[in-house]
Chains A and B, each alone.
Chain A
Amino acid sequence: MKFFSVENLGIRFGGVVAVDQVSFEVRRGEVYTIIGPNGAGKTTIFNLIGLIYPATSGRILYQGRELSGSKPHRVAELGIARTFQNIELFEHATVLQNLLIGRHRYRSTALWQELAFTPAVRHAERAQREAVEKVIEFLDLQHYRDSMVAGLPYGVRKVIELGRALATEPKLLLLDEPSSGLNPEETNEMAFWIEDIKKGLGITVLMVEHDMSLVQRVSDRVLALNEGRAIAEGTPAQVQSHPAVIEAYLGSKEPA
């Protein structure tokens, strides 16, 4: 059984075909990266996987189960977490609360219990905090534990978002441009974490990324997209030297 695969995935917005018959497979335990110039449809694929957009064609298969046709919150419950290109944190909540929302899929108490805050809720809350603490430790966020997200610097927010996704204890982690807006040092740190997430936590990572040094460093396989179509797949080095990829980024040679 394949771990995660996408078959002939496509979506059109009116006349624009944003993603056109894209197929790929992510193997358990690898870091799979999608690259491509602006507007290639990378983030759209993420939104299709997250069921934010309904796919016009194709199937998304996760552990032998078809995702398409379900609801966005079901995706998280199945163990797929994601981050966003332009950080979507809960601004007016503390870092701890943000991470705790990541534990939403593990809630076990009914509304009436929460209203009365029964011992069961208290117990569950403690357990959630212990789980979140592991993430805080993993990403070195102790210092920001109780600060409001609004007011934290961009680099820290990026890490918090990663932490929130990790707090869901996913099997598959979708990272949408984890290095965008980060300085080289922070990017370096992000690379460490991605490697740790793969090796230490055993989470499969599907990533969209522009920074080729990061891509080369962490990815096992790379898929290149252009104008919604897959143009090359292979190891980072193979894809980078693929003529179709070079053409997509740099344009074709002008005939003399």
Chain B
Amino acid sequence: MRFVFKTDYAQDIRLVKHGGHVIWYGLLGVVLLAAPWWASEYVMSQLHFICIYSIVGFGLMLLTGFTGQVSLGHAAFLAVGAYTEALLQAAGVPFFISISCAAIFSAAAGIIIGLPALRLKGIYLAIATLAFNVIVEEIITRWHKLTGGNEGKHLKPVEIFGWKLESDAEFYYLCLALTVICCLACVNLLRSPTGRAFVAIRDSEISASCLGVNLAKVKTMSFAISAALTGVGGALYAHKLAFISPEQFTLFQSIELLTIVILGGIGFLHGAVLGAAFIIVLPQVISIAKDWLPEGSAPSGLQAVVFGLILILFIIFEPLGLYGRWLKIRTWFELFPFYRRGMFRRQKSYMKSERLR
């Protein structure tokens, strides 16, 4: 078991809390950097998706996991990012400018949907964002001149200063670099005043506002940042698929994105990565499992059923998600043999009578 003795305020602020972090994250970094050498073409492709979904997961985690605002419309921001990238690339705009624009336009869309969020909460906000998703999807389908409607848009490989990233490895490093940058930005945000204000809004709006947090501004900011990250993810997603069309940005996509943060563990940035890895790997596991089942016993909708089932089981038995499960396992080892079953059970919170609305 490790004891961290704090002797300096810098220790609280520092990213690396103890030697274990250096070793394990260093190891993870080496494994990921070496991926093109150990991974097959297929695994590389999966890693692309995990990176992309992780970025989107960070965005949604900031909004849902840390600010407490549910969004069922994140596929719309993904679409804004993807189409911005597709259109700007077609217009010959350099990659770093086009992906920045993808982030900015998505953030703008985030602010627009953030405005009603100032008045809505919980399930009502979920419905509003859901509606937003449907609207954006519809606009993309109908605005044929700009988006190509149902015929979609084709994308060329990313080109950075004349260097074409055509191979899997090159595109992988781009995705990985952006994932690390986005992750660091989120971590930094969460250890500074704005990030704390997010958490404050999530846990008690009334006391947040009584402590000087401008609810309207911070909520809008959260929506904008979340959407911007999703936009970056969307741009990479468009490049990964090389072809985008409206049916990739439906409500089901939004639900899948929300699944990432719920399965991963709401309120943990690690959860976004774990959740992303989980939903990318799961379909493969299901298709392998299908081979073992007797002929005809596995219907084509099996994947959706398993997904739904896993989501329900997680919500009931593991509300802290995959990362929560990991925390429990770690604590079990650290405290061995003193781990108690109820250690992570959420205590019933005391009654709250004062609410803003």
Q: Which residue numbers of A lie inside 8 Å of B, CB to CB?
A: 43, 47, 50, 52, 71-73, 75-77, 81-82, 84-93, 96-97, 100-105, 107, 109, 111, 114-117, 121-122, 125-126, 128-130, 133, 150-151, 154, 157, 164, 168
Bound-state Cα–Cα, A71 to B351, Å: 26
Q: Could you tell me if A84 and B221 are in contact, using CB atoms closer than 8 angstroms?
A: no
Q: Could you tell me if A100 and B196 are in contact, using CB atoms closer than 8 angstroms?
A: yes
**Min CB distance, A124 to chain B, in Å?**
8
Q: Could you tell me if A90 and B203 are in contact, using CB atoms closer than 8 angstroms?
A: yes
Residues of B within 8 A of A81 (CB): 210-211
Which residues 197-214 in B have Cβ within 8 Å of A in the complex?
197, 199-200, 202-204, 206-214
Q: Name the residue of chain A whose CB is nearest to the CB of B205.
A: A88
Residues of B within 8 A of A129 (CB): 9, 12-13
- Interface size range on B against A: 35 or more
> Of A47, A101, A122, which is within 8 A of B208 by CB?
A101
Residues of A within 8 A of B208 (CB): 90, 101
Residues of A within 8 A of B191 (CB): 117, 125
Bound-state Cα–Cα, A39 to B270, Å: 47
Q: Could you tell me if A73 and B347 are in contact, using CB atoms closer than 8 angstroms?
A: no
Q: Name the residue of chain B whose CB is nearest to the CB of A79.
A: B212
CB-CB under 8 A for A82 and B347, given A97-B196, A101-B197, A126-B13: no
Q: Could you tell me if B211 and A125 are in contact, using CB atoms closer than 8 angstroms?
A: no
Question: Is the CB of B119 closer than 8 A to any CB of chain A?
Answer: no
Bound-state Cα–Cα, A255 to B356, Å: 45
Q: Could you tell me if A97 and B193 are in contact, using CB atoms closer than 8 angstroms?
A: no
Bound-state Cα–Cα, A107 to B221, Å: 16
Residues of B within 8 A of A75 (CB): 210
CB-CB under 8 A for A82 and B9, given A52-B356, A73-B215, A150-B349: no
> Of A50, A102, A117, A164, which is within 8 A of B188 by CB?
A117
Q: Could you tell me if B212 and A84 are in contact, using CB atoms closer than 8 angstroms?
A: no
Task: Give a binary string over B151-191; 1 marks a CB under 8 Å from any A CB, 0 the rest.
Answer: 00000000000000000000000000000000001001101
Q: Could you tell me if B211 and A96 are in contact, using CB atoms closer than 8 angstroms?
A: no
Q: Could you tell me if B353 and A105 are in contact, using CB atoms closer than 8 angstroms?
A: no
Interface of B is mostly: helix
Question: Is the CB of B10 closer than 8 A to any CB of chain A?
Answer: yes
Bound-state Cα–Cα, A114 to B272, Å: 21
What are 7 A-B pairs at a CB distance below 8 A? A52-B209, A86-B354, A87-B352, A90-B199, A101-B208, A150-B346, A168-B211
Q: Could you tell me if B203 and A89 are in contact, using CB atoms closer than 8 angstroms?
A: yes
Number of interchain pairs (Cβ within 8 Å): 135
Q: Name the residue of chain A whose CB is nearest to the CB of B349.
A: A91
Q: Could you tell me if B200 and A101 are in contact, using CB atoms closer than 8 angstroms?
A: yes
Question: Is the CB of B283 closer than 8 A to any CB of chain A?
Answer: no
**Min CB distance, B178 to chain A, in Å?**
14
Q: Could you tell me if A90 and B204 are in contact, using CB atoms closer than 8 angstroms?
A: yes
Residues of A within 8 A of B206 (CB): 52, 84, 88
Q: Name the residue of chain B whose CB is nearest to the CB of A90.
A: B203
Q: Could you tell me if A150 and B347 are in contact, using CB atoms closer than 8 angstroms?
A: yes
Bound-state Cα–Cα, A202 to B200, Å: 28
State the 3 A-B residue pairs at the shortest beta-carbon distance, nearest first.
Answer: A76-B212, A114-B192, A90-B203
Question: Is the CB of B46 closer than 8 A to any CB of chain A?
Answer: no
Bound-state Cα–Cα, A194 to B349, Å: 26
Q: Could you tell me if B212 and A73 are in contact, using CB atoms closer than 8 angstroms?
A: yes
> Of B185, B189, B202, B210, which is within 8 A of A76 by CB?
B210
Question: Is the CB of B195 closer than 8 A to any CB of chain A?
Answer: yes
Which residues 203-250 in B have Cβ within 8 Å of A in the complex?
203-204, 206-215, 221
Instruction: Given contacts A90-B200, A92-B203, list 5 more A-B pairs with CB under 8 A.
Output: A89-B203, A90-B203, A115-B189, A125-B9, A164-B207
Bound-state Cα–Cα, A185 to B196, Å: 33
Q: Could you tell me if B211 and A102 are in contact, using CB atoms closer than 8 angstroms?
A: yes
**Min CB distance, A20 to chain B, in Å?**
21
Q: Could you tell me if A115 and B185 are in contact, using CB atoms closer than 8 angstroms?
A: yes
Residues of A within 8 A of B215 (CB): 72-73
Q: Could you tell me if A122 and B353 are in contact, using CB atoms closer than 8 angstroms?
A: no
Q: Name the residue of chain A whose CB is nearest to the CB of B195.
A: A114
> Of B194, B212, B221, which is within 8 A of A105 by CB?
B212
Residues of B within 8 A of A88 (CB): 204, 206-207, 352, 354
Question: Is the CB of B73 closer than 8 A to any CB of chain A?
Answer: no
Q: Could you tell me if B212 and A122 are in contact, using CB atoms closer than 8 angstroms?
A: no
Q: Could you tell me if A77 and B212 are in contact, using CB atoms closer than 8 angstroms?
A: yes
Q: Name the residue of chain B whose CB is nearest to the CB of A168.
A: B211
Question: Is the CB of B350 closer than 8 A to any CB of chain A?
Answer: yes
Question: Is the CB of B267 closer than 8 A to any CB of chain A?
Answer: yes
**Min CB distance, B220 to chain A, in Å?**
12
Residues of B within 8 A of A109 (CB): 192-193
Which of B9, B185, B211, B347 has most A Cβ within 10 Å? B211
Residues of A within 8 A of B197 (CB): 101, 104
Q: Could you tell me if B209 and A73 are in contact, using CB atoms closer than 8 angstroms?
A: yes
Residues of A within 8 A of B210 (CB): 50, 52, 72, 75-76, 81-82
Residues of B within 8 A of A91 (CB): 203-204, 349
